[in-house]
Chain A
């Protein structure tokens, strides 16, 4: 079974995700891009699991999905709090870490 198509799609999704994380200013969109990256990885896992004919990749993917859900929960919570305190979720305005 050829996995090329899956890997291409995953790479494409990954690149879109990376672009989103770097270029987007909206915190929610950045979170969504992170999801894209994670799911690109999932796709790779599943594709290789199919090729190798064992369930390890599927198991990994399921774990990643669960953890990604938790991660987004925390992330959105943070975004909400930031919005409450500062009435903005633009990442450009959040530069407290400036050295």
Chain B
């Protein structure tokens, strides 16, 4: 707590911090320009995307610099207030909705990461999607996607947050289904959209609950509405809220995070989302889409902190979901042959670490893991894209079309290995400094069981990444990377990667590859790879806990100091013995997996090959994994059918028995009745009248016939003129 006697320094600010709201606005404008004029521009709109992302990056960098000096201008213990600017957005019956920015350490670090990775991905895409038929639309969607994420990050209130969140949902749908001509791709896009939507319900419910619960308090105490994130944070920590209300709100919000961040049991959309172009997967899985859920939890952390009693329990909803996700996703990664799917499951598992960290009170390590993970995961995905682009003929199958690529693609190989080591958490790569801190702090805060799960996860990560690396870069070359050009196979994989291959401009491009065989990619692909690999190697030192407090820069800059807006969190003291244990586990994982991979894939050891077919237990396990725990079957066949089936059956029954019964009865009655009417009334009374009136009508009809021209616009004109006359009459009567 800040003692009231302590001197509070005046905090510095600056232009970049005050104008951080420009960061999402620029790409949003860029999107509009691309979609309107993109096709007419010399580079088909990609230059606008690149420029807008670069300017966002520059602004974000400036904001980061000024934030650091703002932190330095305060005292050690002082809470560094975020830079807030708000505008009135709309007003409705006395309720005021504001929109605005609130920039603090967390927003700054995520802004920089998002803008940086988006820029690199855009650069990469100019090469990767060269000649694509919807090139302009791709860049438009990519730019809007980044704009959505950036808007979410700068948001001062939950409404703007929700807006950015939904923009991302929409754009992910467009980008995953970019090659929608192929049914599998559009199905994957729909699946991603609907699964995430399931979670989004939670966000809406959570935001509304928080508003109604906190609005009165925040208006009275802070003069902000119940949508303000600061207001909600202070309210959650004030001891005011009813514990049940805040628990339910936290659960609702966390369900949204489960959907967006691909946590168990809604993780099934994430691997399918690989149907999109590789740059999209890279952006989605490193810094934007999936991080949004983690960001939600870290942004509204006080709500979760109070709702789940994070420091006072040995396990809660968040840690359980995070723990389950770490292990099951890592297990799934072992049976995938598609290199991108291995990476996708690895992302799911790493997000599990972040959630676990947040759930166990390790806020800072979890946020730092967002930071480091973004770099090495983006690098791995772009590396996979580089392989498929230049070596394996647009295939992502490691067993069929890769192998032995380390010699032909030295840059891709080196960057891949660096990022893999970072992902596994090997010292001194960046993953070590973040993942190890999470595991350490989780144990320190009393979540022993989850610390063990974290260590198991680290072992599995090391093992499956070694398997993937071995299959891709070592052993002998197979399939397309051996230069074997088989059309049949190409067709099969055209569907997996690019339907655009068989079209116009890309055709020549594809044959090029077949002739050249595997080779290194161009600079627009390798430059992002190299930059990301450097960061994967070096970014850990920004918060190198092992070297003492002087090295904990990110902690100093980003972690909010304890105050009415931020809970008090402790850090586990670093000991080399604990780090040594996890490093040993990682090395055992790597060695074991390397040994098994060599025996299985290169020497084809008789004892191991086909073991999963001979051993019943292993076969059952393999089946469970290859079918993804039958969760897809559960969702599509059981849940959807269970809901849709009875409704359809009930509707059919209702139709057959009730409606038809009524119809038949009515029909029978009317037949009897109409017979009587025909004989007595129709023939005698009516016909006489009709014959006479018929003549009159015919005369009138002849006069009015031209009006019934069949032209809709004429009818419309008549309608509007009649309305105008009626309005005139009304005015005259009333005045």
CB pair B710 A98 closer than 8 Å: yes
Q: A30–B716 Cα gap in the complex (Å)?
A: 10
Q: A64–B549 Cα gap in the complex (Å)?
A: 59
Chain B residues touching A, range: 10 to 19
Residue of B nearest to A21 (CB): B716
Residue of A nearest to B719 (CB): A21
A18 CB-CB contact with B under 8 Å: yes
Q: A92–B714 Cα gap in the complex (Å)?
A: 10
CB pair B93 A58 closer than 8 Å: yes
Q: A28–B650 Cα gap in the complex (Å)?
A: 38
Residue of A nearest to B95 (CB): A55
Interface string of B547-588 (1 = CB under 8 A from A): 000000000000000000000000000000000000000000
A6 to chain B, nearest CB (A): 14
Given contacts A53-B93, A58-B93, A98-B708, contact A23 B720 (CB under 8 A): no
Given contacts A22-B720, A53-B93, contact A97 B713 (CB under 8 A): no
CB pair A23 B93 closer than 8 Å: no
B701 to chain A, nearest CB (A): 8
B716 to chain A, nearest CB (A): 5
Interface string of A11-32 (1 = CB under 8 A from B): 0000000100111110000100
Interface string of B75-97 (1 = CB under 8 A from A): 00000000000000001111100
Cβ < 8 Å to B, chain A residues 43-99: 49-50, 53-55, 58, 91-92, 94-99
Interface string of B685-715 (1 = CB under 8 A from A): 0000000000000000100010111111100
CB pair A92 B720 closer than 8 Å: no
Q: A99–B712 Cα gap in the complex (Å)?
A: 13
Task: List, in ascending order, chain B residues with CB within 8 A of A30's CB.
Answer: 712-713
Cβ < 8 Å to A, chain B residues 19-46: none
A51 to chain B, nearest CB (A): 12
CB pair B713 A99 closer than 8 Å: no
Task: List, in ascending order, chain A residues with CB within 8 A of B705's CB.
Answer: 99
B730 CB-CB contact with A under 8 Å: no
Q: A92–B143 Cα gap in the complex (Å)?
A: 42
CB pair B720 A95 closer than 8 Å: no
CB pair A21 B713 closer than 8 Å: yes
Interface string of A28-41 (1 = CB under 8 A from B): 00100000000000
CB pair B713 A23 closer than 8 Å: yes
CB pair B717 A98 closer than 8 Å: no
CB pair B711 A92 closer than 8 Å: yes
Contact of B717 among A22, A55, A94, A97 (CB under 8 A): A22
Task: List, in ascending order, chain A residues with CB within 8 A of B713's CB.
Answer: 21-25, 30, 91
B565 to chain A, nearest CB (A): 32
Chain A residues touching B, range: 20 to 34
B166 to chain A, nearest CB (A): 16
Contact of A54 among B93, B711, B717 (CB under 8 A): B93
Task: List, in ascending order, chain B residues with CB within 8 A of A95's CB.
Answer: 709-711
Residue of B nearest to A50 (CB): B91
Q: A57–B192 Cα gap in the complex (Å)?
A: 36
Residue of B nearest to A52 (CB): B93
B654 to chain A, nearest CB (A): 24
B319 to chain A, nearest CB (A): 40
Contact of B94 among A53, A96, A98 (CB under 8 A): A53
A38 to chain B, nearest CB (A): 14
CB pair B720 A58 closer than 8 Å: no
Task: List, in ascending order, chain B residues with CB within 8 A of A24's CB.
Answer: 713
Residue of A nearest to B720 (CB): A18
Task: List, in ascending order, chain B residues with CB within 8 A of A55's CB.
Answer: 92-93, 95
CB pair B717 A99 closer than 8 Å: no
Given contacts A18-B720, A22-B720, A99-B705, contact A91 B712 (CB under 8 A): yes
A61 to chain B, nearest CB (A): 10
Task: List, in ascending order, chain B residues with CB within 8 A of A25's CB.
Answer: 713
Task: List, in ascending order, chain A residues with CB within 8 A of B710's CB.
Answer: 94-99
A42 to chain B, nearest CB (A): 14
B559 to chain A, nearest CB (A): 41
Task: List, in ascending order, chain A residues with CB within 8 A of B94's CB.
Answer: 53
Task: List, in ascending order, chain B residues with CB within 8 A of A50's CB.
Answer: 91
A47 to chain B, nearest CB (A): 13
Q: A22–B710 Cα gap in the complex (Å)?
A: 13
- In the complex, which of the residues A22, A95, A97 has the most CB atoms of chain B within 10 Å of its own CB atom? A22
Q: A55–B701 Cα gap in the complex (Å)?
A: 49
Q: A22–B711 Cα gap in the complex (Å)?
A: 10
B385 to chain A, nearest CB (A): 37
- In the complex, which of the residues A24, A92, A94, A99 has the most CB atoms of chain B within 10 Å of its own CB atom? A99
Task: List, in ascending order, chain B residues with CB within 8 A of A54's CB.
Answer: 93
A5 to chain B, nearest CB (A): 17
Given contacts A18-B720, A22-B716, A23-B713, contact A99 B92 (CB under 8 A): no
Q: A63–B33 Cα gap in the complex (Å)?
A: 31
Residue of B nearest to A62 (CB): B92
Q: A96–B711 Cα gap in the complex (Å)?
A: 9
- In the complex, which of the residues B705, B716, B717 has the most CB atoms of chain A within 10 Å of its own CB atom? B716
Residue of B nearest to A23 (CB): B713
Contact of B92 among A18, A58, A98 (CB under 8 A): A58
Interface string of B390-403 (1 = CB under 8 A from A): 00000000000000
Q: A92–B711 Cα gap in the complex (Å)?
A: 6
B221 to chain A, nearest CB (A): 26
List 11 other contacts, CB 8 Å, given A22-B716, A55-B93: A23-B713, A24-B713, A25-B713, A30-B713, A58-B93, A92-B711, A94-B710, A95-B710, A97-B712, A98-B708, A99-B708
A-B contact pairs, 22 of them (CB 8 A): A18-B716, A18-B720, A21-B713, A21-B720, A22-B717, A25-B713, A30-B713, A49-B93, A53-B93, A54-B93, A55-B92, A55-B95, A91-B711, A91-B712, A91-B713, A92-B711, A94-B710, A95-B710, A97-B712, A98-B708, A98-B709, A99-B701
Q: Point out residues on B near A: beta carbons under 8 Å.
A: 91-95, 701, 705, 707-713, 716-717, 720
